[in-house]
Every structure is written in structure tokens, then in C-alpha cells.
Structure 1
Amino acid sequence: MEELKYPIGRFQAPEKISDLQLRSYINDIRFLPSLVEIAVQTLDAPQLATPYRPGGWTVTQVVHHLADSHMNAYTRFKLALTEDNPVIKPYDEAAWAELPDVSKTPINISLTLLHALHTRWVSLMDNMSPEQWERVFTHPEHGETFFLRKVAGSYSWHGKHHLAHIEKLKERNNWQ
């Protein structure tokens, strides 16, 4: 079950995130919308309604979750860049995945949103100064302060994590 939940492993941030590693994270975020779009483009309605693991989200829910999660990440970046150590607002990802916009909205809407959102987010990150990369926010559920370099790494992993859910499901079911 661990491999189904975490097909690329759990996120492990390096002690120090080099500029080269940061650039890699940004590129992962840059290309994620296209990779997700490619991964789902041949799937039909029953395939999109298939959970990636027993008790897991459907492919449709995963795509909508990526848009929801990354919108929150982008907003958290902007808060950290414009406020001193803001306390961010957490949200209930599982509850969001059950809302009607997830079950009633075609995934192409969230794919379009991901493309637009990631274009804005990458533009922001591409133009941040070294000092801005040291900005932080606090997550109240964890009581932890997150540096934006680590957040970029976390969302690089997050995108690849959910992309792997879709790709591994397709492989297991021979949907290639």
C-alpha cells in the first residue's frame, strides 16, 4: 500500500537547497501541467473515474486536487513575499475533493487552470531575488516555518507524486 500511496517515495528536502536544485524544482513545476495533460489525454470517462489505489482518489479528483493545491501554494508564495512570516490558512484537501466542482467539472477546466497558474507561478519564481527565496510562512497545523526554497521542492515533489499516481495506474491496468 505504501508504494501505491507514495510511488516516488515521501518528500525529503535536502539540508541545503542549491541554486541548481532550486532551478530543477522550478522546471518540474513549469512542465507539470503538460505532463499531466499528456498522462490523461487518452483516458475515457470510466478510466478517469478509477481510483489510483483502493480507497484513493479518482484520476479526476487527482487532477482537480493538483489545481486546488497549487493555487494554495501560489497564494502562500505571494503572502510570504508581501508579509513578514504570515500564518497561512490550511484547508481540508479531502473535503475539497468531494465538492461538486470536482465531481461535476470536466478535468480540462483544471488542466487549463494548471497551465495558467503554473505560468504565473513560474514567472514569479524565475524573477525572485536570492533574498526573496529566504522568505518564510508559518503553517499553523505543523507549527513549522517554511522557507520558499523548501516549498518549491515540496511542490516539485507533489506534482511528480500525483503524476506518478496516474501513470502507475495506467501501467497496472495496461491503459497505454
Structure 2
Amino acid sequence: MTKQHIETLKYPIGVFECPANISKQHIESWISILEYFPSRLENLVKNLTDEQLDTAYRPGGWTVRQVVHHVSDSHHHSYTRFKWALTEDKPVIKAYFEDRWAELIDSKTAPIEMSINHIKAIHFKLVYLLKMLSQDDLDTCFVHPETNSDISLGYNIGNYAWHSNHHYAHIENLLRRKGWI
């Protein structure tokens, strides 16, 4: 497998590129992605067997099961980061080792229904909050310790809309390649 093919499998929709000027339309579109993502993901994975769930989406990549659990973990962190930024003055958020989390026993073996239900709940709460944010709120930032950079909430909405579509594409592309859909 070529390096380019591996990169395409790794980033099937490309990397997140945030527009220089985030418009109201961008925010609305991104929030819509976040609002409908849980049901889209559930419909994509609900009929998969354990064998299918335990198939890696690419060589050296996570299994479908790990991806679903990762999305749950990651989006939970994101929700908390929104709350911190809205209640503290430019907080430095806690980073985590997502690769290590994906190797924990729950990520590798737990039923995906627990994470699907969590994604539904966290997105319901997140979308409700995001729809109420003012422009000043969207300009509010947290600091990411790995890059020591300010991340605006507007940017973070786009990033997590991308993150949703990114991992959805990992799973969907695997299912298509295997002829499972």
C-alpha cells in the first residue's frame, strides 16, 4: 500500500481547514452537522457484527469499535472545553492521550451502544448550548497545552463538525470497501 493511499485512508475528507473569517452560516452549518451526527453514526453502525466492529478501518488504525468509543470520549472532552471557556478566563485545557485511551479494555471490547447513547446525550447538550452562543461567546478562547495556542469556540465548533465527519468517513469507507453496505 502506498504512502499516499494510507494518507487517504487516514484523512478521507482531508484535514480541517478553518476559514479565516468564520461566518454565521459556517457556525449554523457546523452546528447542524453536530446535531445530526449521532443518528447518522448510529444508523451506520447499528447492524454491524462483532467481527465487523473489530475490523480496523485502515492498516495500523483503530477498529470500528475503537473509533465509536473514541468519538464518545473526544466529544465529551470537547463539551467540557466549551464549558471551561465560557466560565473561566482563557483556561488551559487538559490534553489527553487519545491513542492510549483507545487501547483501554472498554474501548477495545465494550458494546458500542454505550458510546452511541453517550454521543446522543452529549451532542444534545452541546448543540443546545451552541445554538445559544453570542458572537462574543464564539470569540472566547481556551488554550491548548500541546500547541500553547488560543482556540476560539467558533473554531472548535468547526473542528468538531469536521471530527464527526472525519470518523464517519473512516467507518463508511471501510464498510464500502468490504461490501458491507
TM-score (norm 2): 0.96
Residue in structure 2 matched with residue 94 of structure 1 by the alignment? 99
Q: 1:88-167, aligned counterparts within 5 Å?
A: 88-167=93-172
Structure 2: unaligned runs, 5 residues or longer: 1-5
- Letter in structure 2 aligned against 1:106: P
Structure 1: unaligned runs, 5 residues or longer: none
Alignment partner of 2:174 out of 169, 172, 175: 169
Cα distance in structure 1, aligned partners of 2:107 and 2:98? 12
Q: Deviations over 1:59-113 (max 9, x none)?
A: 0000000000000000000000000100000000000001122123200000000
Deviates more, 1:117-126 or 1:95-104: 95-104
Residue in structure 1 matched with residue 74 of structure 2 by the alignment? 69
Which secondary structure does the structure 1 equivalent of 2:43 belong to? Answer: helix
- Letter in structure 2 aligned against 1:103: K
- Letter in structure 2 aligned against 1:73: S
Runs of 4+ aligned structure 1 residues displaced above 3 Å come to none
**CA shift for structure 1 position 129:** 1.5
Cα distance in structure 2, aligned partners of 1:17 and 1:50? 37
Cα distance in structure 2, aligned partners of 1:79 and 1:143? 16
Cα distance in structure 2, aligned partners of 1:101 and 1:42? 20
Cα distance in structure 2, aligned partners of 1:38 and 1:3? 24
**CA shift for structure 1 position 142:** 0.5
- Letter in structure 2 aligned against 1:35: R
Amino-acid identity (%): 48
Residue in structure 2 matched with residue 80 of structure 1 by the alignment? 85
Is 1:38 the equivalent of 2:43?
Answer: yes
Residue in structure 1 matched with residue 3 of structure 2 by the alignment? none
Cα distance in structure 1, aligned partners of 2:8 and 2:44? 19
**CA shift for structure 1 position 151:** 0.4
Query: Alpha carbon RMSD of aligned pairs, Å?
Result: 0.6
Q: Deviations over 1:111-144 (max 9, x none)?
A: 0000000000000001112211110000011111
Cα distance in structure 1, aligned partners of 2:134 and 2:17? 24
Cα distance in structure 2, aligned partners of 1:128 and 1:37? 27
Residue in structure 1 matched with residue 7 of structure 2 by the alignment? 2
- Letter in structure 2 aligned against 1:151: N
Cα distance in structure 2, aligned partners of 1:20 and 1:103? 38
- Give the number of equivalent residue pairs: 176
